[in-house]
Amino acid sequence: MGLATLASAQWVRNTPARSNFVPTKATPLRAQPIDQGQAKAGGDAVFNEDFANGLAGNNGVGAWTVSGADGALWQADTDGPNGDFSDPSEVITSPTAANGFLIFDSNLSNPGGSTTNRIGAVESPVLDLSATPNVHIEFESKLRWCCTATPTHWLEVSTDGGSTWPTRFNLSSNARINEDIHVNEDIGTHRHRINLSNAIAADPATVRIRFNHECYDCPTGAFVSHYHWQIDDLSILESYQTDVALVKTLYDKYPDDGDADLEYSVYPFSQLRELNMRAHIRNGAYVDATNVTLNVQVSGGGGQVFSQDGTIALLPANTLDSITVNGYTPAAAPDDLMVNFTLSTDGTDSLDSDNTNSKEFSVHPHWYALDDGSMDGRQRNGGDPYLMGNAFWIENDAMLYAIDVCVANGSTSVPGTALGATVGGQLLDTNLDLVELAEPIEITASNQITGLGQARWISLVFQNPVQLIGGSSYVAALEHFGGPEVTTATSGWSVPQVSFIFDNGTWFWQEETPMVRMNFDPSVSITEADRVGGVGLGQNLPNPADERTSVTFELKEASATTLEVRDLSGKVVRLDNLGNRGAGSHRVTINTADLTEGVYFYTLTAAGQRLSKRMVVVH
């Protein structure tokens, strides 16, 4: 992303559970015995396991066994990890988590921060897949570890009943978090899908699979001792003869090296650009797919505004690829837009339920946002100071007037923002160096505090508008100075290295998106006290002024408009006829270079109103 100092930044402390997460009791999967030697149709289950009976198995075939020096750490569980560096809030969120799952609770066996390596595997019973050689496996996984960047979590396959394990699949690479490395970071629950056809080809009659916690190539001195690995809801399924699928859809990407995808929930007029709409696709079948076509349609309040195809001539069986559709730039008009992705191929797709997806974003005159628009969680740092915010790519030069933030109320487990607390803002550059401070405010009323499902925005205005340079990235951050609690509202999830917290001298990245936005509205500093009869007048910036200063005003309806400047004696020293201005926000620059130092008053005349403010000129 160009945020140079954040290449490996991670917040290693526990992340509070999302406040609206209330797990419900799931219905256990019915044990399905394997049909030895019987063929299956595409999509049929060959083997199911939900671990409702723990290691004893709930699969109709047999028990799971453990191996390795620390295999006994694989246990049945229902309440999530425990230990010095993790807690039950990091429990797996699989569909049947309530009836049990397996966990390798490595941190629990390393109390006090000790760093003893832990190596252990859990192995399935022997499976006869001779009648179903074209199969894939799906399962839920949640993992977190320390303290090496080397892969340590594997799905391994044996075709000699477990004597040897020649095939390994690196599970940490499936989630694509932090360049596929998840050291110290709670990355959430992921559903994995891995094709087993080639892995079992040597002898599909004596197959075993295992989940192995081991670092095969750890550098000298490295260790794998924390935190946990949870597995649940495993199925081995007969693959379809034809099955192309959307794995991930994107309506924009970060314009860096192409692999750090970033899309915003709200784009301001000033930052509109051509969107790179893409889909990561998979041929999950055992037959090659031809003429795989992605159709992307964009619709807004006025109907469909874009429709275009991208095609791959050949997508071999059991492979991943991507298709990009370019050519769409949103119009500079307020709108809520829907992007519909549809994937197709020659002939009939045996499973078309995974061929479509839809995503939404908005265009706004002034707001730039990553968050989803209403609070669904909260982040805090006790009474300690911190910064928390998001990265923004600036496509075009623009003047930034404010950072908008939402501070959160409390829950039964997380304290909320205290009345009397002070909130500030910081704008940082690509190296996370300070560019400008936004004016802090004190939280004085409960209606400034956001609750679940709400968005009560607070504008932290810059004393002087900040010139942002196109082709650069910036971080807009909420600042807590310490003292009375400030809890930041969060909304939605961010890709890695996009949402950050600065705590105790170190930057970390997080997945929960802070409700922190850029605001390009020049009238943001105009308060209700500055409005009379549909006309609003803001304070000039900068003030005091040297060579020039800017005045922002707002009109409810179109009107002929003038701006005059008078000295203390009442003499008019400048009079500008601004012509007929339309409804909305406006900004005008006053040349003060030829004015003598002193106090002046500027007056806006519009719609039958005259509003005045004081300004100071210094040289």
Domain boundary among 200, 221, 238: 238
Any domain includes 10? no
User: Can you list the positions of beta strands (E) in 263-394?
Assistant: 266-268, 275-283, 289-300, 303-315, 319-328, 335-344, 356-364, 367-368, 377-379, 386-394
Pick from 63-67, 483-487, 540-544: least confident: 540-544
CATH number of 587's domain: 2.60.40.3080
What pLDDT was estimated at residue 259? 37
pLDDT band at 17 (very low <50, low <70, confident <90, very high): very low
CATH number of 299's domain: 2.60.40.10
pLDDT at residue 230 is higher than 80: yes
| Residue 501 and residue 465 share a domain | yes
The two tokens of residue 10 are 């991670």
What pLDDT was estimated at residue 35? 59
| Residues in Cβ contact with 163 at an 8 Å cutoff, skipping those fewer than 6 apart | none
User: CA–CA separation, 113 vs 83, rounded Å?
Assistant: 9
Torsion sign across C-alpha atoms 381, 488, 144, 173: negative
pLDDT digits (tens, 9 = 90+) for 543-582: 888 898 989 999 999 999 999 999 999 999 999 999 999 9
Which of 4-13, 17-26, 326-335, 490-499 is the most confident on average? 326-335
| Residue 141 and residue 102 share a domain | yes
The amino acid sitting at 568 is L
The two tokens of residue 60 are 């109709």
Any domain includes 1? no
Only one residue has tokens 């078309």, namely 352
pLDDT mean over 471-489? 94
What pLDDT was estimated at residue 186? 59
Quick check: 342 and 34 in contact, CB under 8 A?
no
Pick from 121-125, 248-252, 322-326, 481-485: least confident: 248-252
pLDDT at residue 8 is higher than 80: no
pLDDT digits (tens, 9 = 90+) for 369-423: 999 999 999 998 888 999 999 999 999 999 999 999 999 999 887 899 999 999 9
pLDDT band at 145 (very low <50, low <70, confident <90, very high): confident
Percentage of the chain modeled with pLDDT above 90: 63
CATH number of 47's domain: 2.60.120.200
Any domain includes 25? no
DSSP state at residue 381: B
Any domain includes 24? no
Any domain includes 19? no
pLDDT at residue 541 is higher than 90: no
pLDDT at residue 5 is higher than 70: no
pLDDT mean over 520-536? 88
| Residue 322 and residue 284 share a domain | yes
The two tokens of residue 484 are 């009375």
Any domain includes 23? no
| Residue 494 and residue 391 share a domain | yes
Percentage of the chain modeled with pLDDT above 70: 90
| Residue 180 and residue 55 share a domain | yes
Domain boundary among 365, 395, 418: 365
What pLDDT was estimated at residue 173? 61
Residue 540 — left, alpha, or beta (φ > 0 → left; ψ -120 to 50 → alpha)?
Answer: beta
| Residue 377 and residue 351 share a domain | no
Any domain includes 273? yes
What pLDDT was estimated at residue 354? 87
pLDDT band at 504 (very low <50, low <70, confident <90, very high): confident
Quick check: 370 and 264 in contact, CB under 8 A?
yes
Torsion sign across C-alpha atoms 365, 369, 375, 379: negative
User: CA–CA separation, 462 vs 440, rounded Å?
Assistant: 9
pLDDT digits (tens, 9 = 90+) for 28-76: 333 444 555 567 788 899 999 999 999 999 999 999 999 999 999 999 9
Distance of CA 345 to the CA centre of its chain: 31
Quick check: 213 and 237 in contact, CB under 8 A?
no
The two tokens of residue 543 are 């003030």
What pLDDT was estimated at residue 34? 54
The amino acid sitting at 382 is G
* 3-class DSSP assignment, residue 309: strand
Helices and strands in the chain, H and E counts: 1, 42
pLDDT mean over 518-541? 89
Instruction: Provide the residue range defining the domain that includes 426.
Output: 368-519
What pLDDT was estimated at residue 182? 36
What pLDDT was estimated at residue 26? 34
CA angle 462/466/468 to nearest 5° reads 145
Report yes or no on whether pTM surpasses 0.95.
Answer: no
Which of 41-50, 84-93, 346-355 is the most confident on average? 41-50
What is the overall mean pLDDT for the chain? 87
User: CA–CA separation, 404 vs 47, rounded Å?
Assistant: 51
| Residue 182 and residue 79 share a domain | yes
| Residue 491 and residue 579 share a domain | no
pLDDT mean over 519-530? 87
Number of domains in the chain: 4
The two tokens of residue 64 are 């799971």
pLDDT at residue 619 is higher than 70: yes
pLDDT band at 523 (very low <50, low <70, confident <90, very high): confident
pLDDT band at 174 (very low <50, low <70, confident <90, very high): very low
| Residue 465 and residue 429 share a domain | yes
Any domain includes 210? yes
User: CA–CA separation, 547 vs 464, rounded Å?
Assistant: 14
| Residue 357 and residue 385 share a domain | no
Pick from 403-407, 546-550, 599-603, 609-613: least confident: 546-550
Domain boundary among 322, 341, 365: 365
pLDDT at residue 344 is higher than 90: yes
What pLDDT was estimated at residue 16? 30
Pick from 429-438, 506-515, 551-560: least confident: 506-515
User: Can you list the positions of beta strands (E) in 83-148?
Assistant: 101-104, 120-123, 135-146
User: CA–CA separation, 433 vs 54, rounded Å?
Assistant: 51
The two tokens of residue 83 are 């230990």
pLDDT at residue 177 is higher than 70: no
| Residue 332 and residue 192 share a domain | no
| Residue 231 and residue 155 share a domain | yes
What pLDDT was estimated at residue 30? 38
pLDDT mean over 446-453? 95
